[in-house]
Structure 1
Amino acid sequence: MQGGTGALGRMRAAWNEARRRWWVRWGVDLALLALLFAAVTAWQTRRLPGGGTPAPDFTLRTLAGETVSLEALRGKPVVLAFWAPWCGVCKMESSNLSQLQSLAGDSAHVVSVAVAYDDEEAVRRFASEHGVDYPVLLGDDSTQRDWRVNSFPTVFFLSPEGRVERAVVGYTTLAGLGWRLLL
């Protein structure tokens, strides 16, 4: 038993010595922060479609009056952002979606679906005030229900074949959107 206690004591001493180094403390802190972030993300998206499941289909009208079906977007990756005009976080994220659209160019579709709005004018006002230059589709309660969206913004990343590969809830930086698009 003496050897086990001695080995444990040496491990504790080595750990205490390592903790005195700034880069070890920072590394442990960053690892814990990353673990916490991953756990919160997993919890937020636990009920959303993902993991390669087929995306719920829709045909929705744009603000310009055209109709767009999810089927028509196949062949390229799709970033599909659900938002509400009253959502403050959605306002902050809208410029990131515009920048992603510019960076992605013709290699991906960046599309948004407005839901949980009182009238179409609120959606138009949001798009105008925030310089939205990506397609805005007008969703409804059934679209929101089919996609199981209950928090805003919620962004889905679809494969070119129309499968939901991943989702994220809440504000996402341009780097976060781009990274998830490339995965």
Structure 2
Amino acid sequence: MHMQGSPGALARLKSTWAKGRGRWWVRWGVDLAVFALLFAAVAAWQARNLPGGGTPAPDFTLSTLAGDTVRLDALRGKPVVVAFWAPWCGVCGMESANLSQLRKLAGDSAHVVSVAVAYDDEAAVRRFVQEHDVDYPVLLGDDTVQSAWRVNSFPTVFFVSPEGRVERAAVGYTTLAGLSWRLML
């Protein structure tokens, strides 16, 4: 048995629908809120196994491409952005310009360093640096440092407090705005 609503109820429904269609900004706002919620949930899920939440940053002593040695402990006193990447990672190449801009924006108020891992030879790292005009320090990492930081996706960026604690992490492409926002938190 099929029941129809009263003519008054149908008219009210049509009126409500017409008003809703006229309020495009409400629909867009709801869509944007749902998208932001989904984006935040995916980002949290990707970073779920990474050090964070104030845990001590795993220390390292690594060489730069120029042969200098950098210790993470020596960078304390300022926030540190540590970006892990691989030379074969296309997304890492896209993000490299954002890291460069972040370094310029942060100036002397923070350190921005990167750790190359998962590479076959140093020549691959040098090619990446040249092709992407990398102007921030590049450290040569290995399986030990990659494992200590629990990095299994590229790029992965950590935000370390001046006291040496991992505060936040981001997996995958991160915009300059996203990097800056996380650094300032």
State the TM-score, normalized to the length of structure 2: 0.89
Residue in 1 that maps onto 2:20: 19
Distance 2:173 2:148 in 1: 22
Residue 97 of structure 1, aligned match among 99, 121, 125? 99
- Structure 2: which 5+ runs fail to align? 1-8
Amino acid at match of 2:91: V
Residue 69 of structure 1, aligned match among 68, 71, 78? 71
Amino acid at match of 2:20: R
Residue in 1 that maps onto 2:159: 157
Shift of 1:33: 0.3
The structure with the larger Rg is 2
Higher mean Cα deviation, 108-117 or 12-21? 12-21
Q: CA RMSD in A?
A: 1.7
Distance 1:16 1:111 in 2: 54
Shift of 1:182: 0.4
* Percent identity (aligned): 80
- Structure 1: which 5+ runs fail to align? 1-8
Shift of 1:175: 0.8
Amino acid at match of 1:139: G
State the TM-score, normalized to the length of structure 1: 0.90
Shift of 1:23: 1.1
Are 1:47 and 2:49 matched, yes or no?
Answer: yes
Are 1:82 and 2:84 matched, yes or no?
Answer: yes
Give the 3 Å change call, closer, same or farther, for CA 90–28 of structure 1 in structure 2: same
Give the number of equivalent residue pairs: 173
Residue 108 of structure 1, aligned match among 107, 110, 125? 110
Amino acid at match of 1:134: Y
Distance 2:102 2:155 in 1: 16
Amino acid at match of 2:157: V
Question: Aligned to 2:112, what secondary structure does the other structure show?
Answer: strand
